[in-house]
Amino acid sequence: MGGRIAVVADRIGWEERQLMKAAPDLGLRVEWVNDESLCLGHPDAQSIKDYDAVLIRSRSYTRGGLLATLAESSKIPTLNSAAAIHACENKLVLRTVLRDAGVPVPDFRLVVSRRDFAKALEQLPMPLVMKPVFGGMGKRVTLLRHPDTAHSVYDYVEDLGHAFEQACLVEPFLGGGSVRCFVVGRELVAAAEFESGGADWRNNAALGNRNRAAAHDPDILKIVNDVVNELGSGIYGIDLFRTPAGYLVNEVNHAPAFRAVASATGVDVPSVIGLYVQELLR
């Protein structure tokens, strides 16, 4: 059994290198394909037609869903699915899809203007978090502690954000802990508590966080299962907040990093992904 897999990404990072290393033992050939030179659109796109599957690992949040849409249309098995990527890449869409399905998510307000921002400040108690609808790696995710400084922070959104960059979510700060759940297929393969590294309030691995293995307790398994029921099976980094009322889904990363979660848990994530891709090709 063999398979030629295209890892579509802007660059080869640690994760992509691990996938390439794990592949030969599983009878797979994993090759990096630069996401900037696919020129997809033709139904039999030359740049991907010789691959048995496409793994979308673009870090750019504008590219992944677009490339997945056309790869699927060229009838090449694509991970994650275009539908899942489109849901995950937009924090508002994801929250809405999950909430409508009964999956608990944080309360939030969509802020597209100064007036919305002022109303959100009235409706939700401080401290609050303001974050872009499209974003990742913690960028521009801002902690608002004081009403008297909030509007000057919003000046940057209003004056410097363009079009979609101005759309933000404002939500309560939930400080009860964060669990990153790494899912392959439908299974929770690794879970880790993420904590801020100390120098920054955010706990993104990209910002140098601390993390340790977390138990796969039944509440976590249930919420993960509910998320996968909505998005379909795939490869996801599901971020949960722990609150007195139970776990809430903060966001789902559709091209998740896994270095932190693999080192915290000792799980051989690249091999698990390779086995899953192998199954898909059967």
Ligand X SMILES: Nc1ncnc2c1ncn2[C@@H]1O[C@H](COP(=O)(O)OP(=O)(O)O)[C@@H](O)[C@H]1O
Which stretches of the chain bind ligand X, using CB under 6 A? 106, 129, 131, 135-139, 141, 171, 173-175, 178, 202-204, 239, 250-251
Minimum CB separation of residue 8 from ligand X in Å reads: 20
In sequence order, the β-bridge partners of residue 183 are 188, 236
- Among residues 194 and 276, whose Cβ is nearest to ligand X? 194
Minimum gap (Å) between residue 169 Cβ and ligand X: 8
Least gap, CB of 16 to ligand X (angstroms)? 20
Identify which of residues 77 and 138 has a Cβ nearer to ligand X in the complex: 138
CB of 64 to ligand X, least distance (A): 13
Cα separation, 141 vs 158, in Å, equals 15
> How near is the Cβ of 155 to ligand X at its closest, in Å?
21
We find the least distance from the C-beta atom of residue 127 to ligand X, in angstroms, to be: 8
CB-wise, 202 or 277, nearer to ligand X? 202
Q: How far is the CB of 83 from ligand X (least distance, A)?
A: 19
21 vs 145, which CB is nearer to ligand X? 145
* Burial of 161 from C-beta contacts in 10 A (0-12 / 13-18 / 19+): middle
- Nearest-CA neighbor of 36 among 68, 61, 6, 58? 58
| Smaller CB separation from ligand X, 29 or 259 | 259
User: For ligand X, which is the closer residue by CB, 167 or 277?
Assistant: 167
Q: Give whichever of 35 and 89 is closer to ligand X, judged by the CB atom.
A: 89
